[in-house]
Chain A
Amino acid sequence: MLRLAHLNKVYANGACALDDVTIDIEAGEIVTLVGGSGCGKTTLLRLVSGLEHPTSGTVSVDGEAIFAPHPAIGMVFQEARLLPWLTVAQNIGFGLAHLPAGECKDLVEDALLKVGLAGYGTRWPRELSGGQAQRVSILRALVTKPKVLLMDEPFSALDALTRGSLQDHLLALWDAHRPTLVLVTHDVEEAAALADRAIVLQPRPGRVFADIRVELPRPRDRLSQDFAETKRIIMNALDGSLSQPALSKNNAGATAGSWW
């Protein structure tokens, strides 16, 4: 459904951020991209979003090539990036300008209700906590019902407690329309909590190091043995990606069950 084929990205300054990255993602799948800093996670998302162009290779959604921001693709940035001069409700409705005001209002209020922010519509972004702002920013991307939602370390600036609750909110929102979700994180726990697939990238240049299937049932029990095991597998791959310079073929395609 979402296909990244042989993506290369060399920045103008010569930095090679991505080297021959090929990933196929199915509709409704939740993929977490894990990797150390500088391994091209942000670059990868920006290529998929159409905000940036690959040096070579293609991104396509349902067979349609992506060259520029596309209505089927929503983006949540690392910072909430709310527009400070719009109220919370207006921020969420930012991508709904084409709809009649009444319809837009209903969608927004419905969305606020789902993430526990009912009644916050008339507030200003400056009056929100970090976690609340990030929820609003997720809603802004989701109310337009994109087929693909991209998220770049959306919870990395939040404390662990808030992060956990936002992950639950995110799963609930995802469940309503089941968009394809690609979420960047450097937090192994987050990857294990959310992913159907955890893809580990290695740095310099950015490549796929391991593609780990997580087959734990939802809702996931974070205290269970299986969850700890999944975390360990992802952590191991991450360690490997940071120490090992070249792609080792037998890492790719491993699943949580068959790793050892």
Chain B
Amino acid sequence: MSDTQTIAVATQATPRKQRGVPSFVYGLILPVTAAALYELAFRMGMVEARLLPAPSRIAETLLKLARSGELSVHIAATLMRIAFGFGLGAVTGVLLGVLTGSSITARRLLDPTLQALRAIPSLAWVPLFILWLGIFEPSKIALIAVGCFFPVYLGVMGSIANIDRKIVEVGRAFRLSRTALARRILLPAILPDTIVALRSGLGLGFMFVVAAEIMGASEGLGYLLVDGQQLGKPDQILASILCFAVLGKLSDWIIVIATRPLLTWQDSFARSE
């Protein structure tokens, strides 16, 4: 029974495409209405828009940045840092989480140290990373990786601890080898929790990329924030924040969409809406 077969069956089994309004439209109602109201108030001269520029002004700034090619440079820089940092943190988080989750010896040896490291606010590492790795990319990527690591590590370790012993026994009764047990039972069992862990890891990745870029960068969306503050351009700050919102949501959405075929079997409350 191949995995592709599993997926094919999975996708055809639940025809969940509803007709009518796509659900993301509901999510847009609140922000779009708020923006429209503010724009209206601004046009009617009811607000003084020096510190909170009108949506049209922000859009204009965004457009200008996009036209000059600056925006894509900043976005690419930020995404690159997240990709490397998240990649590094997530891979080590999954590896160590699997290790401590499946071996008691490894857990006794490693987990106390890792928990102690987790208690350190991640930003406290910044001076050390800068001393060790310099002020350029490596220290930023290291900070993001540290931020992504812990939620992934904890999530994967916890998901292994939560595997139903009774279901593992089914594998034993069918005489699965260690690798077959891992592939056919353990992996699918930890998948849902692991995906949630990766999503929260990525969320923290965005948080720490801002921190890293605020502390010193010559490009990136975080740099746009600092630059906007120093030059007194609130429209540029808000444009950058808007980009963060869109990119964060988009990347999370990509994880959700990419993994949905693997999770069709689930019937949690959130999916049955």
A residues in contact (CB < 8 Å) with B:
49, 51, 68-71, 74-75, 77, 79, 81, 83-87, 90, 93-95, 97, 101, 104, 122-126
Top 3 nearest A-B pairs by Cβ distance?
A: A85-B188, A85-B265, A75-B173
Q: Which of chain A's residues have a CB closer than 8 A to the CB of B172?
A: 51, 69
A79–B166 touching, CB < 8 Å: yes
> 1/0 contact trace for B1-32 toward A, CB 8 Å?
11001100110110000000000000000000
B170–A81 touching, CB < 8 Å: yes
Other-chain residue from B10, B13, B174, B265 in contact with A69 (beta carbon distance below 8 A): B174
Chain B residue with the shortest CB-CB distance to A137: B170
- Whole-angstrom CA separation of A124 from B264 in the bound complex: 9
> 1/0 contact trace for B165-193 toward A, CB 8 Å?
01101101111000010001100110100
- Whole-angstrom CA separation of A42 from B174 in the bound complex: 18
- With A90-B9, A124-B13, A124-B265 in contact, do A83 and B188 touch (Cβ < 8 Å)? yes
CB distance from B263 to the nearest CB of A (A): 8
- Whole-angstrom CA separation of A97 from B1 in the bound complex: 6
What is the size, in residues, of chain B's interface with A at 8 Å between Cβ atoms? 25
Give 18 A-B contacts (CB < 8 Å), ordered by A residue: A51-B172, A51-B173, A69-B175, A77-B169, A81-B169, A83-B167, A83-B170, A84-B266, A85-B6, A86-B6, A93-B1, A95-B174, A101-B5, A122-B12, A122-B13, A123-B13, A124-B265, A125-B265
A69–B188 touching, CB < 8 Å: no
- Whole-angstrom CA separation of A77 from B173 in the bound complex: 10
Q: Is residue B273 contacting chain A, with contact meaning CB distance below 8 A?
A: no
- Whole-angstrom CA separation of A139 from B5 in the bound complex: 21
Other-chain residue from B9, B166, B174, B189 in contact with A122 (beta carbon distance below 8 A): B9
Q: Is residue B48 contacting chain A, with contact meaning CB distance below 8 A?
A: no
- Whole-angstrom CA separation of A84 from B1 in the bound complex: 16
B166–A87 touching, CB < 8 Å: no
Besides A81-B167, A90-B6, 20 more A-B contacts (Cβ < 8 Å) are A49-B173, A51-B169, A69-B175, A70-B175, A75-B173, A77-B166, A77-B170, A85-B6, A85-B189, A86-B6, A87-B9, A90-B1, A94-B174, A94-B184, A101-B1, A122-B9, A122-B12, A123-B13, A125-B265, A126-B265
